[in-house]
Amino acid sequence: MPVTPPVPGPAGFAAALAAGPLVLDGGLSNQLAAAGHDLSDGLWSARLLADAPEALVAAHRAYFAAGAQVAITASYQASFEGFARRGVGRAEAGRLLARGVELARAAAEEEAAGDRPRWVAASVGPYGAVPADGSEYRGRYGLSQDELEAFHRPRLEALVAAGPDVLALETVPDADEARALLRAVRGLGVPAWLSYSVAGGRTRAGQPLAEAFALAAEADEVVAVGVNCCTPQDADRAVALAARVTGKPVVVYPNSGESWDAGAREWRGEPTFRATGAAGGRGRVARWLADGARLMGGCCRVGPDGIAALAAELAAELAAEPTPERAAERAHGRP
């Protein structure tokens, strides 16, 4: 009897995640910049929600064509406060937040193929993304948890009203903000993943990762915990820890490994994001899978080519003969 594929929606996404690993997309901003769009505005890619929505659909399509199964919306830097600084009223700001979900859904429906549905994750970036002053990589904004919850809850409600499959609470630099976000998602009826931005085994604000991950262990709304917008090496170290501390599936989508030179406003260094191992050996994706990762993709500077390589490596790993070693690894890594 043929298996009925999960249908879009929160319940369908949870079922798909339980059934096996899913491939996330890559960096939205680098795909837009490669297409010639200026992202120097304080709203970053969210500016295009109003100015060039068709560019966002095209970017989502490119990642789906590369093998992604989940599109993350262009709402990372979008907020009522940020839009207000551009003279956008609250009603229109809510419409633009919803548009990000609608555009990703349009691309998902265009690219859906047979028994491989595509999913939409509504991006919820940290408070520090709104001032666009780099505080998203430091945390410690000087705001209370109540103030952070009051900031996040209205944008979460606007995004949920547009019907995403999951909320991406991403690039969170600070465990205190994570606490506020976990409070803000209660009762919304949509699952979420919680993903920290990290450096050297700690959050960007300096808290031990084990303590930060533990906050989500008992949060029913959170279906995956992990890291993004960090080096691939830091991501490698975090996956097993997140699985062990929370008992939940792990989400992981690091940067390319290059570093951003703020003074020169350019990326430097060589990419270290590689899906495969040397000389055809088992690589990063196999290790992530064994350690408990179930949502895998890329962040800044990881484009469609990187996602295609990741998707191919994951498909090869899942199709490989289940040797005793691999069976043991998967059993160990499955939360």
- In SS3 terms, the chain reads as CCCCCCCCCHHHHHHHHHHCCEEECCCHHHHHHHCCCCCCCCCHHHHHHHHCHHHHHHHHHHHHHHCCCEEECCCCCCCHHHHHCCCCCHHHHHHHHHHHHHHHHHHHHHHCECCECCEEEEEECCHHHCCCCCHHHCCCCCCCHHHHHHHHHHHHHHHHHCCCCEEEEEEECCHHHHHHHHHHCCCCCCCEEEEECEECCEECCCCEHHHHHHCCCCCCCEEEEEEECCCHHHHHHHHHHHHHHHCCCEEEECCCCCEEECCCCEEECCCCCCCCCHHHCCCHHHHHHHHCEEEECCCCCCCHHHHHHHHHHHHHHHHCCCCHHHHHHHHHHCC
Low-confidence ranges of the chain (pLDDT < 70): 1-8, 39, 41-45, 111-115, 260-265, 275-282, 321-335
What's the sign of the alpha-carbon dihedral 317, 122, 128, 241?
Answer: negative
What's the sign of the alpha-carbon dihedral 289, 274, 168, 263?
Answer: positive
Q: Answer whether 23's CB lies under 8 Å from 251's CB.
A: no
What's the sign of the alpha-carbon dihedral 147, 80, 136, 224?
Answer: positive
Residue 108's pLDDT is: 94
Pairing of strands 192-196, 198-199: unpaired
Residue 328's pLDDT is: 52
Tell which phi-psi region holds residue 269, choosing left (phi > 0), alpha (psi between -120 and 50) or beta.
left
Residue 92's pLDDT is: 93
Residue 259's pLDDT is: 78
Residue 135's pLDDT is: 87
Residue 42's pLDDT is: 63
Number of residues assigned to the chain: 335
Residue 95's pLDDT is: 94
Please tell me the distance from the alpha carbon of residue 139 to that of residue 121, in angstroms, as a whole number: 23
Please tell me the distance from the alpha carbon of residue 144 to that of residue 180, in angstroms, as a whole number: 9
Please tell me the distance from the alpha carbon of residue 185 to that of residue 223, in angstroms, as a whole number: 12
Nearest to 189 by CA among 11, 2, 8: 11
Residue 299's pLDDT is: 96
Residue 305's pLDDT is: 95
Backbone angles phi, psi at 8, to 5 degrees: -55, 145
Would the pTM of this model clear 0.75, i.e. be above it? Answer: yes
The radius of gyration computed from the CA coordinates of the chain, to the nearest angstrom, equals 18
The token pair at 65 is 């064509």
- Cβ within 8 Å of residue 106, ≥6 positions away: 57
